[in-house]
Structure 1
Amino acid sequence: MSETLPRAALGTPTPDSAKAGPAVGLTVWRYVIRFFLVLVFALPLLFMLVSSLKPDTQIFGDLDSINAFLPVGDVSLNNYTAVFDRVPFWRFMMNSILITVLTVTLGLIVNSMCAFALARLRFRGQGILLGVILATLIVPFETLALPLLWWVNLLPYFDGSIGWLDTYEVQFVPFIANAFSIYLFYSYFDSIPKELDEAAKVDGAGWFTIYRKIIMPLSGPAIATVAILTFLPAWNQYLWPLMAVQTEELRPVLVGIDYFSQLTTNWGQIMAYASMITVPVLVMFIAFQRAFINSIASSGVKG
């Protein structure tokens, strides 16, 4: 009689139930790995935010316990108010916003036009030119910093003077053209069917019209990727402004951290300052997380 009973009634695992066990285990491990990665990236940020609410003595006293990540003890906003007393925070913030917006906006225009010429036009030495542009990626900026500083000091300024040092222009103009951005645009433009160009030419469109009305409207994922990847280096500029800018009113936010290491180092104020300049970036990435992931997936670099 037992032979006529269903396999499930006898406790014998069915093929579906046999597959379900390993699948559940794999899902659990995936969540464990994700939770671990979240801790790795989130705990330093949590420590920074919590430490910005504590005095230095408590910050160092809590380092050997879980209290280092908890807002307990002598918690206040004194470090934040001290930041505004010690540095012109809003001036630094507005300078960084201006420099970042100009770098991203002009970079999108210049790099996309350069990539359009390389991907859609045909001219002698095209491949060599692309190779030279990509070769610049292996040269670290520290190698170019001093020669670049010498060159910008010889450029004529708008008022007839010589030298761009101590200006807003010197902080974003040298970084508008970017080899990696050009290659991202080039890879995406090269994947768009060239039959669209021929159809537009039949209707009397020129190359600039094709670029502006056909290629760019189809390149939303590439534009989003380049904009986001250009934003972070522009916002995090430190070495170059430190070398090229001496006037306090022109400095970006990251250079302002140096103000807290003068005379005595106040770590609570440093954490408060770092929190204020980090939170806007985190909010932006959380708000545009889906667009960032989709743009990276849609415009991945093609080999």
Structure 2
Amino acid sequence: MKKTSITRKIFLYLTLSFLAVIFLFPLVWMVMSSMKDDFQIFRDMTSVKAFLPPLPNEVDGGYLQNYILAFERVNLLKYIMNSLIYTIGIIIFGLIVNSMAGYALARFNFPFRNFWLAVIIATLIIPPESIFLPLYVLVFNLGWVNTYTGLIVPFIANAFAIFLFRQFFLDFPKEIEEAAKIDGCSQLGIFVRIIVPLTKPVFATVAIVLFINHWNDFLWPLVVANDDSMRTIQIGLQFFMNQQPVQWGQVMAALTVATLPMLIIFIFLQRYYVQGLAHTGSKN
């Protein structure tokens, strides 16, 4: 039995390692290509050299030359700052609104609670693109076009985030809340002082999901932020790739810079992310 268990674990780890390497190939290729010129990128495309950095004598101007030229060619720093403001704004307000909504659905008994939960979950099947036109008309009438408000406010409430919070709070011990009530703590005080500090995994999970979803947003920022000063990184990359002549080494450098924030936030919050996913869905 022990040998069988060890064999299964070895097979599982080898399989997962193999899959991890496969998924990392595009990322490694992108980073390595960001250090090369166009000739080197296409020359190495069909060999293992595509996943290796260029030799020092093949680099003209240093390994970061493409990064420097990319920032000089377009205002990448401004695009990155716009994306950070956009995504972080949605995360901050989204965590507040969605956590409170999830807590209310998990703890409070109010009329038609299950009905409203079903309505919230049902909105997940609605394609976001199908509501962009009426949403844009609303944002336009409010005067929010080319503003951070127009980018952030429509996406603060998130059905998936509300569901995750609700499932996680269902698993939270009620005895702790009841003890706080006996000590005279208000409902808001219980949520802020007890629930939030003790449920970091689900907050980290929702933060990662919201960051990845909205950092990669393209259509909504394209519609609402049509001024160059308001473009997000994804829109900026599209305009950058359309500039002639296309310098693929610089494009890879810009793509690498755009990918870094997602990698950083996932690396720092991955432990909470796994815990949050493990605890959600344990109760109905």
Return the TM-score normalized by structure 1: 0.84
Matched with 1:261 is 242
Matched with 1:245 is 225
**Superposed counterparts of 1:132-211, under 5 Å:** 132-155=119-142, 163-211=143-191
Shift of 1:176: 0.7
8 Å Cα contact 1:221/1:299 also seen in 2:
no
Matched with 1:29 is 11
One of 27, 39, 47 as aligned partner of 1:65: 47
Letter in 1 for 2:17: F
**Superposed counterparts of 1:28-47, under 5 Å:** 28-47=10-29
Q: Which runs of 4+ in 1 moved over 6 A?
A: none
Q: Which consecutive unaligned segments of at least 5 residues does structure 2 have?
A: none
Tell me, in whole angstroms, the C-alpha distance in 2 between the residues paired with 1:210 and 1:279.
37
Matched with 1:290 is 271
- Provide the aligned length of Structure 1 versus Structure 2: 278
Q: Deviations over 1:84-140 (max 9, x none)?
A: 111112111111222222111111100111122222221111111111111000111
Return the TM-score normalized by structure 2: 0.89
The structure with the larger Rg is 1
CA gap 1:195/1:137 in 2 versus in 1, 3 angstroms: same
One of 72, 77, 86 as aligned partner of 1:90: 77
Q: Deviations over 1:119-172 (max 9, x none)?
A: 2221111111111111000111111112211111112xxxxxxx2111111111
Shift of 1:180: 0.6
Q: Which has the higher contact order (CA 8 A, sep 6+)?
A: 2
Structure (1 or 2) with the greater helix fraction: 2
Tell me, in whole angstroms, the C-alpha distance in 1 between the residues paired with 2:6 and 2:147.
59
Tell me, in whole angstroms, the C-alpha distance in 1 between the residues paired with 2:146 and 2:203.
31
Shift of 1:201: 4.3
* RMSD of aligned residue pairs (Cα, Å): 2.1
Q: Which consecutive unaligned segments of at least 5 residues does structure 1 have?
A: 1-18, 156-162
Matched with 2:213 is 233
Q: Percent identity?
A: 42
8 Å Cα contact 1:225/1:299 also seen in 2:
no
Tell me, in whole angstroms, the C-alpha distance in 2 between the residues paired with 1:226 and 1:90.
26
Matched with 1:14 is none
8 Å Cα contact 1:260/1:269 also seen in 2:
no
8 Å Cα contact 1:184/1:299 also seen in 2:
yes
